[in-house]
Structure 1
Amino acid sequence: MKKSLFTLALAFAFVFSAFANDPAYESAMKKQIQAMKTIQNPEQSQAVVNGFLRIAEVKNTEWLPIYYAAYLQTIAAFRFEVNKDQYFDQAMELINKADKVAPNNSEITALKGFIIMGKLSVDPMSRGQEMSPLAMQTFGKSIALDKENPRATTLMAQMELGMAQFFGSGVEKACGLARVGLELFAKEEAKINEDYLLPTWGKREAEQVLSACK
């Protein structure tokens, strides 16, 4: 009986190890992450999104492929002349799927707040009262889940700056958050190597917020 249990434990350990170190998954993710850097139009963006979604179909226990697909839809909405509401809605649908795969994940929560902020930017006059508090609450949750997440702090800084500019108030809080964000990015950069698959975006946004403090 003990021998059978030992054999079963070894089998589980082997399976876990195989899934934890999947060269095909890692290679596919690296290829798509690299492709993200070459996007110049909505069509190219959608092609990379589709690539991430194909990976997500195969590795349905991984949150990162769906996360990156949601991120690209969000960035495309900000960057290109597209139906912004439609893109943000698609991004929200994707990030909600990622949330089911990995609940209470700071990165997923931060991106969810970013999408809400995008929806708000489409029509701030009519959406501000509902969406501004929701975005702030979502960024606050992301920071609470991981105080070392530079994107959570940076997005909160962006939101604070936007609100300060809208209401004509001081930008001190936004500037303080941006400085913390840049400190966190410096810590994160020390961990990044060629095998790093986790999100690294956001430093430019923190620098943009800080530029409004001069």
Structure 2
Amino acid sequence: MKKYFLIFALSFCWINLVKASDPAFEKAMTKQIQAMETIQTLEESQKVSNSFLRISEAQPEEWLPLYYAGLLQIESAFRFDVNQDQALEQALEYIEKAKNIAPGNSELTALEGYAVMGKISVDPANRGQSMTPEAMQLFGKAIALDKENPRAVLLMAQMELGMAQFFGSGPEKACGMARMGSDLLRKEKEKITESYILPTWGQRMASQFEKVCQQN
């Protein structure tokens, strides 16, 4: 019985390995991830987002295309003249679909917290008290799922900084977390190759923290 179980387990791992190294999927993802770096307008953002959604339709078992489509919606809410709540709700919809594919995923959990944090920033006076615990809980969960996820740590630091500014306290705790996030980004950079399609963003946020923390 143990022999058959082992054969089944090895077969399952091989199937997942083949799926994970699908060259057509990796090529399509790499192309759109590179396109993300050059986005300057809302139209360009929508075009790349739609491309990720098409990849998702072709590969419904993959969570990454929906992740990046969600990330683009969040970034659009901050960068462009859009209905911010609508963009953030769309992001949450993509994230929820991706979570059904990959439950307990640290990157998706952190991204969900990022979207909630965005919704707080739209109307902090009315949403801060009720939604801040939700965002903090999501970032805490993302860190618990993967303590080496720099985005989860940096986003938690961002929330800590916002609360410190609101209550008039010092940024020491936020800056400490931000330094941890920056260290994790440097560690992550060592394993990034041209075909690496997992999330790697966060350097811009880390650089902004460096300026804030140097002033205090």
TM-score, structure 1 length as denominator?
0.92
Identical counterparts, % of pairs:
62
Paired residues of 1:154 and 1:206 also in contact (CA < 8 A): yes
Cα distance, 1:176–1:9 mapped onto 2, change above 3 Å: closer
Q: What corresponds to 2:192 in structure 1?
A: 192
Give unpaired runs (5+ residues) of structure 2: 1-6
The CA deviation at 1:162 is 0.9
Note the alpha carbon deviations across 1:102-131, whole angstroms, 9 max, x for none.
001100000000000000000000001111
Give 1:55-204 correspondences, 5 Å limit: 55-204=55-204
For residues 157 and 179 of structure 2, what CA distance do their matches in structure 1 show?
9
Give unpaired runs (5+ residues) of structure 1: 1-6
Paired residues of 1:164 and 1:171 also in contact (CA < 8 A): yes
1:211 and 2:211 matched: yes
The CA deviation at 1:210 is 2.9
Cα distance, 1:32–1:185 mapped onto 2, change above 3 Å: same
Cα distance, 1:163–1:22 mapped onto 2, change above 3 Å: same
The CA deviation at 1:22 is 1.1
The CA deviation at 1:207 is 2.1
The CA deviation at 1:15 is 5.1
For residues 132 and 172 of structure 1, what CA distance do their matches in structure 2 show?
19
Cα distance, 1:10–1:205 mapped onto 2, change above 3 Å: closer
For residues 170 and 94 of structure 2, what CA distance do their matches in structure 1 show?
35
Q: What corresponds to 1:4 in structure 2?
A: none
Q: How much is the aligned-residue C-alpha RMSD, in angstroms?
A: 2.0
Cα distance, 1:45–1:144 mapped onto 2, change above 3 Å: same
What's the secondary structure of 1:39's corresponding residue? coil
TM-score, structure 2 length as denominator?
0.91
